[in-house]
Amino acid sequence: MSVLNNAADVLRCFGKDCPDLTVSDVVRLLGMPKANASRLLKAMREANMLETIGDSHRHRPGRLMLDLAAAYRRSSLLIGRASEVVAEASAIYGHTGYISVRDGKEVTAVADFQGTNALRVVSNIGRRLPAHLSATGRSLLARLGEEAVHALYAGHGALADLTEELSKVRHQGFAYSSQEATPGVDAIAISIADPRTDEAVSLCIVYPHALVDIKGRDEMIAALAKGAARIAEDLGDSAFVAPRI
């Protein structure tokens, strides 16, 4: 099924910073003969996996793909429950919140809730972040055993720091970052899991550093924690530790 893999490779190209693709982009990025690239994009177009932008030769993901992220959300009880909690916290405090999942060494947001404050962090849904460099990523990595993290980050320079940071997250019950990925932006994150499906998600709030002091931060952690604890109990997530603040 080589076509499928090629098609998946094409779709992966959209991942990082590439808003659209042409035949020659695909040739360059994937090192594929251009006859193949041309036919592949055509077939993907006909299958609604891609569509052209206007009548140019540039391609973007097709309509078929639009609903799949929503289908993913709908397939998971955990995501639905977590969304309720974050949506409420986001509405109360006015900061942007999101739900994210880990995929190897990366995290992706699966749902976001725009804050309402005049100064708020714009959500970055659909953009992959390195798990070890974000609060939401570390809250998810902390759920892995220490060995699993070692295996995942074997040979990685940041492993020592990460190990220490994760044990702190495990002890505290939440992850925190201050101006780490983005200057002026802090984040808090708590993870929960569904033992029946082995999936884990992170509940995260991001906010402008200047607007929230430690007291305000702890208030939001408590709000997330309350909802997360209820979900953990309902689903039987025995690994959940209530945050200590």
Assign 233 to helix, strand or coil. Answer: helix
19 is an interface residue for a copy of itself by CB under 8 A:
yes
Residue range at the interface with DNA (CB under 7 A); choices 2-10, 93-101, 215-223, 229-237: 2-10
196 is an interface residue for DNA by CB under 7 A:
no
- β-bridge partners, 129: 107
Is the Cα dihedral 134, 140, 145, 151 positive or negative?
A: negative
- On the CB side of 17, CA atoms within 13 Å amount to 1
- On the CB side of 52, CA atoms within 13 Å amount to 12
> 106 with 131: CB under 8 angstroms?
yes
> 167 with 150: CB under 8 angstroms?
no
Query: Which residues ranging from 46 to 85 are in contact with DNA (CB under 7 A)?
Result: 57
Of 23 and 221, CB closest to DNA: 23
Choose, by CB under 8 A, the member of 27, 29, 57, 73 that binds a copy of itself.
Answer: 73
Binds 152: which of a copy of itself, DNA, none (CB < 5-8 Å by kind): none
33 is an interface residue for a copy of itself by CB under 8 A:
no
127 is an interface residue for DNA by CB under 7 A:
no
Binds 36: which of a copy of itself, DNA, none (CB < 5-8 Å by kind): DNA
94's tokens:
């006015």
Site residues (vs DNA, CB under 7 A): 1-4, 6, 22-25, 27, 32-43, 57
